Amino acid sequence: MQPLPPPPPPPEMPPNPPAVILVRPQLGMNIGAVARAMLNFGLTDLRLVQPRDGWPNPEAGPSAAGADALIDAARVYGSVADAIADCGLTIGTAMTTRDMIRRVTSPAGAVAEIRALPGRCALLFGPERTGLTREDLLHCHALCTIPSNPEFGSLNLAQSVAVMGYAWVMAHDAPPPTWIVNHEGPAPQDELTGLIAALEAQLAENGWFNPAPGRSESARRMLRNILTRPGFTGAEVQFLRGVVRSLANPRRRRGDQADQ
């Protein structure tokens, strides 16, 4: 009788795992289950945006099943923008693009993009009942859809995190994709947010926004959608900030200066 082959060695945990951000999570036990799924796959940065029942939540401990360190270290934020401020790439999980023009990828594709970048990245998950809203998705550079039964595709929060965690571990042996040569990666989100705010302020000062009910907010959403999609580098963001400043305070032409 031939001896059984030895079991394969456990996979190494990839470096620089993404942050897992739960947006308006509803139940403490679900947050605990997410922490358990995260630690299963080497994800350790848990961030919470406006948890419905507050934080800390005693119901999170039992379902964490030993992942207490993640529960204790979880950080709470007042908005999605604050939670992703240090992230250069944010990928939101959603079953639908909600009629938005956004790049849509698979779990493996999302992980490949994250592994190709040196900086902090984030995976965004919506509340249990509704998922991410359009406003939440406007902060995302891309969307990730988990393949599932089209007749019964709803996954609970911890299941969704586990699928992404599994994709993260399984991609460790695959070579990461390459970005454009000399591309240092997208700028941190807070830099992009500053650009959008500066452009909005200048447009508002120039009276560009339509005052009709709902039109101004619609225009602001479209502006954020357009500027978030490309994944500008830090140098590009600073360049565009200079463009906005120049439009607000145009320099005199050299000929005009010579006439004085």
Considering the domain architecture, whether residues 76 and 159 belong to the same structural domain is answered as yes
Q: Do 55 and 138 share a domain, yes or no?
A: yes
Q: What amino acid occupies position 57?
A: N
Helix (H, G, I), strand (E, B) or coil at 217: helix
**Pair 198, 44: CB distance under 8 Å:** no
Domains identified in the chain, total number: 2
Same domain, 156 and 209: no
Tens-place pLDDT, residues 114-138: 988 888 999 999 999 889 998 999 8
* pLDDT top residue among 13 and 198: 198
Domain with 109 in it: what CATH number?
Answer: 3.40.1280.10
How far is it, in rounded angstroms, from Cα 55 to Cα 104? 32
Name the helix (H) or strand (E) containing 226.
helix 215-228
Cis peptide before 6, with omega less than 30 degrees from 0? no
Per-residue confidence band for 184, with pLDDT thresholds at 50, 70 and 90: low
Phi, psi of 243 (to 5 degrees): -60, -45
Q: What is the pLDDT of residues 201-249, one digit of tens each?
A: 989 888 888 888 878 888 888 888 888 888 888 888 999 988 988 888 8
Res 183: pLDDT: 60
Radius of gyration, CA atoms only, the chain: 22
Q: How far apart are CA 258 and CA 22, in angstroms?
A: 59
Question: What's the predicted TM-score (pTM) here?
Answer: 0.78
- What rounded mean pLDDT belongs to the chain? 86
Please state the length of the chain. Answer: 260
